[in-house]
Amino acid sequence: MRIGRKAHLENHLSSEQLKERYRQTFDKVESRRWHLLWLVSEKWKIKEAATAVGYNYDYAKEIVKAYNLKGEEAIRNKPRLKKKKSGKALLNEEQIEELRESLKQAPPDQGIWTGPKVAHWIAQKTGREKVWPQRGWDYLKKFRYSLKVPRPRHQKGNKEQQEQFKRKLPERVKELQRQYPTAQIEVWSFDEHRLGLKPILRRVWTPIGERPIATVNHRYEWLYLYSFVHPSTGTTEWFIVPRVNVDWFNLVLQSFATAVGVGQDKIILLVLDRAGWHMSRKVKLPEGLIFEPLPPYSPELQPAERLWALADEPLVNKSFETLNALEAVLAQRCQILTQMTSQIQALTNYHWWPTPPEKLKTQSGVSL
């Protein structure tokens, strides 16, 4: 339950209409503004909503203020007038279209496109002796390209089953509410993460001209981080264990149930993958804990998967002599992560994740 003064929104549009604007608007800038207003209409504080959509707090306040004054028109993303650039363009219209089509295929060296490679392509097409690499980057941005790491998707993943899971999860929550009318219903996510003495290397910011060095010593000893996350609030529970099997899983489930108070008055629907030790008949479910398995090969639907980058941060580019040394650092990190609810909520609270019962309101403000 959030504490503090809630932002005032004029009744230009209902919460459901704001949500529809957010989900149906193709303009990225405008969509984020609708997302912010929808969260505020759902009784989020402006600071929390700004963090969730990646806005500066002051800018978020200006959006809310403009909406209150001018309504829907204030949220429209009006294109700016472009200043005319002086000088001759590197490419004519025909060459621009040729480059646009070339970017859809692999470059001549059959690798991947980069700014310098685009600049080299331009130099060859125009007969110039040299084109600065920055101009290649300029043309990539002109074509609205951005540098991204692909999101992994298993080739056996069934898109139809995944979409069906998204639709049915809120229905499952309502079903549990009818089944346990006096109990609090929460939807959590669970996953495991392997960590060990094999170093984790990651890009970090360093001064120009200085190359970061990571001393490494590859060894193959492991421990496992078990994580439970409640995406709607960013609450987490962490357990460090030596291995993954049914016995350890049962022990962790019981410890989790005790920690969060699972029982007759609090029912938790736990979303998890279909690993063998999760689905085993030997799993002992504490009272009030109910499993909701993900479709096969669907890690992208698992909010807990997004926690590992945060958990790894104090371990990256470092070498540990023993698992005990690594565990000490990891345990301290887990304690810190339990306090980072806003960041974790913004990272794991997918738009299709079920709305908590305490947020479901009628128009008169009475809880459903």
**Each residue of 182-229: pLDDT tens digit?**
999 999 999 999 999 999 998 888 887 888 888 888 889 999 999 999
One domain for residues 239 and 334: yes
Comparing CA positions, the residue from 200, 227, 222, 217 lying closest to residue 307 is 227
Residue 84, domain member (yes or no) = no
The answer to whether the CB of 162 falls within 8 A of the CB of 305 is no
Alpha carbon distance 297, 139 (integer Å): 37
One domain for residues 235 and 134: no
One domain for residues 135 and 57: no
One domain for residues 241 and 278: yes
pLDDT of residue 77: 84
One domain for residues 111 and 254: no
Residue 87, domain member (yes or no) = no
Residues 6+ apart with CB under 8 A from 187: 169, 173, 230, 231, 232, 268, 269, 271, 292, 353, 354
One domain for residues 98 and 185: no
What pLDDT, in 10s, does the model give residues 54-110?
898 899 999 999 999 988 888 988 776 555 555 578 899 999 999 999 999 999 999
One domain for residues 200 and 124: no
If you compute the radius of gyration of the chain from its CA atoms, what whole number of angstroms results?
25
Supply the CATH number for residue 285's domain.
3.30.420.10
The count of structural domains within the chain is 3
Residue 330, domain member (yes or no) = yes
Residue 5, domain member (yes or no) = no
One domain for residues 48 and 178: no
Binned at pLDDT 50, 70 and 90, residue 365 comes out as very low
Residue 88, domain member (yes or no) = no
Alpha carbon distance 81, 262 (integer Å): 57
The answer to whether the CB of 236 falls within 8 A of the CB of 307 is yes
One domain for residues 120 and 58: no
One domain for residues 225 and 130: no
Helices (DSSP H) in the chain: which residue ranges?
A: 15-24, 28-41, 46-53, 57-70, 93-102, 115-126, 133-142, 159-179, 246-260, 276-279, 308-312, 323-337, 341-348
One domain for residues 181 and 287: yes
Q: Tell me what the mean pLDDT of segment 251-272 comes to.
A: 96
The answer to whether the CB of 289 falls within 8 A of the CB of 278 is no
One domain for residues 307 and 350: yes
Residues 6+ apart with CB under 8 A from 8: 68
Q: Tell me what the mean pLDDT of segment 156-183 comes to.
A: 93
Residue 147, domain member (yes or no) = no
Residues of the chain with pLDDT > 70: what percent? 93
Range of the domain at 132: 94-142
pTM of the model: 0.66
Residue 355, domain member (yes or no) = yes
Residue 300, domain member (yes or no) = yes
